[in-house]
């Protein structure tokens, strides 16, 4: 194949089936989309059709942003080498990032992916504390290394996995919608934190001490869970008292996505984690990630850390360019304004469509949970799948996630507009109306069935289509 030549879509699909690992799954495998270019919040297939991208938090400031592309190209033309040589880009980027963080978080380790960042953070926690065990939230996902698969209930609870390790301890996800408590009018932040305190006490009684509590500041793959106020402030106190450290995973929700603050952990006032991991949006699609921690934790480890590509001049030039765009185009403010508009439009839909059980989120990080009954909160898993297939047919890209795969996930590029929000919610209303009509009539129309195939999956009491949405 010559440079610039394109395969026919059927050829691409056939070669992928032959050459790529079978667990590397496609979005919409029964009718996959072949994307050939992208710009801003739009992606284009080989036929030139334009898709509105509502899920790609990797292209943080917009697909192929010219300032980011130019920064990468110019640096690539000059030098790209590893961080064992001095280069200004590494320290300049670390200094810019430090300006967004609390003063105590001041030592940076640059890596290539969020998985590498979380893996390194756990290693640092173990060396600092001298402990080994790790505590995580239920349904959490932290990455794809062997260590991180072991601490990700999102993965190890599924069929075919080896199950939970005895050094991994799982606490309830602090959901305000699917509460584990029967009482009304209780302080949910304290109640969920007390669950952590209790389990830490039980571990101490069995002579186990955790190295780290690892948590996404806002849980993404677990269903867009927004912790109640006061939760993390109490948890970090309990973790410190137990001899562990707190790692805040900002791989999906950092860099202004929540609108009102640069980091999602800052939504919990006064809460400062011991480490923060970041990735995905840092490089706008270029491999770039990081761990930032305290001087005390960083000085504990005497083992040399070296990463061939982490923090190279090109990746840091890209990172600096992303920060430039966030500031100059006021994208954090845009996330706040457009996110509020999208949430309002979605709540209007909720008032007319009982299938919408809950809407939750901050800025341009919003989850819409679909249920068959608002009282029982039975997940509308198949219906959620129908929604994303229908939206795909109408050139809008959305995904579902959560323990029952019934939460619609909005986390688009930060250049998303009010007009985009109006477009997707208008289409969503029409689709929900069709689905509700189908429920009354007891049959699927050809449009809803298009490209689908039902199959039992490893979710108790549910059924979903074989197509598993891309985890971005």
The model's pLDDT over 230-249, given as tens digits with 9 standing for 90+, comes to 999 999 999 999 999 999 99
Judged against a pLDDT cut of 50, whether residue 372 lies above it is answered with yes
Per-residue pLDDT, 135: 98
Which two tokens mark 211? 């190295």
Q: Compute the mean pLDDT over every residue in the chain, rounded to the nearest whole number.
A: 91
Which two tokens mark 66? 């010219």
Q: In whole angstroms, what separates CA 260 from the centre of its chain?
A: 18
Lowest mean pLDDT among 2-16, 39-53, 439-453: 439-453
Q: What percent of the chain has pLDDT over 90?
A: 85
Taking the C-alpha atoms of residue 155 and residue 219, their distance in angstroms, rounded to an integer, is: 14
Judged against a pLDDT cut of 60, whether residue 466 lies above it is answered with no
Taking the C-alpha atoms of residue 364 and residue 384, their distance in angstroms, rounded to an integer, is: 20
Lowest mean pLDDT among 41-50, 295-304, 339-348: 295-304
Per-residue pLDDT, 162: 76
- pLDDT band of residue 5 (cuts 50, 70, 90) is low
Judged against a pLDDT cut of 60, whether residue 446 lies above it is answered with no
Per-residue pLDDT, 472: 30
Lowest mean pLDDT among 85-89, 304-308, 352-356, 399-403: 304-308
Over range 285-289, report the average pLDDT. 96
Per-residue pLDDT, 304: 87
For the chain, give every residue range classified as CATH 3.40.640.10: 66-328
Taking the C-alpha atoms of residue 31 and residue 450, their distance in angstroms, rounded to an integer, is: 9
Q: Where are the beta strands (DSSP E) in 176-305?
A: 210-216, 245-249, 275-278, 289-293
- pLDDT band of residue 442 (cuts 50, 70, 90) is low
Per-residue pLDDT, 444: 44
DSSP 369-427: EEBS-TTT--B-HHHHHHHHHHHHHTTEE-EEETTTT-EEEE---TT--HHHHHHHHHH
Backbone angles phi, psi at 145, to 5 degrees: -80, 170
Judged against a pLDDT cut of 50, whether residue 133 lies above it is answered with yes
In sequence order, what are the residues at sequence separation of 6 or more whose Cβ sits closer than 8 angstroms to the Cβ of residue 250? 216, 217, 263, 264, 265, 276, 277, 278
Task: Tell me the pLDDT tens digit for each residue of 23-71.
Answer: 898 988 889 999 999 999 999 999 999 999 999 999 999 999 999 999 9
Per-residue pLDDT, 30: 86
Q: In whole angstroms, what separates CA 74 from the centre of its chain?
A: 30
Taking the C-alpha atoms of residue 53 and residue 12, their distance in angstroms, rounded to an integer, is: 22
Task: Tell me the pLDDT tens digit for each residue of 392-414.
Answer: 999 999 999 999 999 999 999 99
Per-residue pLDDT, 2: 55
For the chain, give every residue range classified as CATH 3.90.1150.10: 20-53+330-465
Per-residue pLDDT, 441: 67
Look up the CATH number of domain 66-328.
3.40.640.10
Cβ atoms of residues 384 and 370 within 8 Å: yes
Lowest mean pLDDT among 136-150, 252-266, 412-426, 451-465: 451-465
Judged against a pLDDT cut of 80, whether residue 445 lies above it is answered with no
CA nearest to 117, candidates 216, 25, 24, 221:
216
Residue 25 burial (CB count, 10 A): 14
Look up the CATH number of domain 20-53+330-465.
3.90.1150.10
């Amino acid at each position: 194949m010559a440079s610039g030549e394109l395969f026919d879509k059927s050829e691409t699909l056939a070669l992928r089936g032959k050459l790529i690992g079978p667990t590397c799954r496609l979005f919409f495998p029964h009718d996959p989309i072949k994307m050939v270019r992208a710009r801003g919040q739009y992606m284009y297939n080989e036929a030139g059709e334009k898709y509105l991208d509502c899920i790609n938090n990797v292209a943080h400031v917009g697909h192929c942003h010219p300032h980011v592309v130019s920064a990468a190209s110019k640096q690539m033309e000059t030098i790209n080498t590893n961080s064992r040589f001095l280069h200004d880009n590494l320290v300049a980027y670390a200094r810019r990032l430090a300006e967004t963080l609390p003063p105590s978080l001041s030592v940076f380790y640059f890596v290539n992916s969020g998985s590498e960042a979380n893996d390194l953070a756990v290693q640092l926690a173990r060396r600092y504390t001298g402990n080994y065990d790790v505590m995580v939230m239920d349904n959490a996902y932290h990455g794809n290394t062997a260590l991180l698969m072991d601490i990700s209930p999102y993965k190890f609870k599924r069929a075919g996995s080896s199950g939970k390790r005895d050094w991994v301890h799982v606490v309830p996800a602090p959901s305000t919608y699917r509460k584990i408590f029967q009482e009304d009018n209780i302080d949910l932040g304290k109640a969920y934190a007390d669950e952590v305190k209790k389990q830490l006490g039980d571990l101490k009684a069995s002579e186990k001490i955790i190295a780290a509590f690892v948590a996404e500041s806002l849980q993404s793959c677990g269903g867009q869970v927004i912790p109640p106020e006061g939760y993390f402030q109490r948890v970090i106190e309990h973790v410190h008292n137990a001899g562990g450290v707190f790692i805040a995973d900002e791989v999906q929700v950092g860099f202004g996505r929540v609108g009102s603050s640069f980091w999602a952990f800052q939504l919990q006032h006064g809460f400062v984690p011991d480490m923060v991991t970041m990735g995905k949006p840092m490089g706008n699609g270029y491999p770039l990630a990081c761990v930032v921690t305290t001087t005390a934790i960083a000085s504990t480890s005497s083992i040399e850390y070296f990463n061939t590509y982490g923090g190279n001049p090109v990746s840091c030039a890209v990172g600096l360019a992303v920060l430039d765009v966030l500031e100059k185009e006021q994208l954090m403010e845009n996330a706040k304004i457009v996110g509020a508009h999208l949430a309002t439009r979605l709540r209007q839909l909720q008032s007319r469509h009982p299938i919408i059980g809950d809407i939750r989120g901050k800025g341009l990080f919003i989850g819409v949970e679909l249920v068959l009954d608002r009282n029982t909160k039975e997940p509308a898993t198949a219906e959620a799948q129908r929604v994303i297939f229908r939206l795909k047919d109408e050139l809008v890209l959305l995904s579902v996630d959560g323990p029952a795969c019934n939460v619609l996930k909005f986390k688009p590029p930060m250049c998303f507009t009010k007009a985009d929000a109006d477009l997707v919610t208008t289409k969503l209303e029409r689709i929900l109306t069709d689905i509700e009509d189908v429920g009354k009539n007891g049959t699927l129309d050809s449009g809803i069935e298009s490209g689908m195939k039902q199959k039992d999956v490893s979710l108790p009491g549910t059924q979903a289509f074989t197509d598993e949405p891309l985890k971005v």
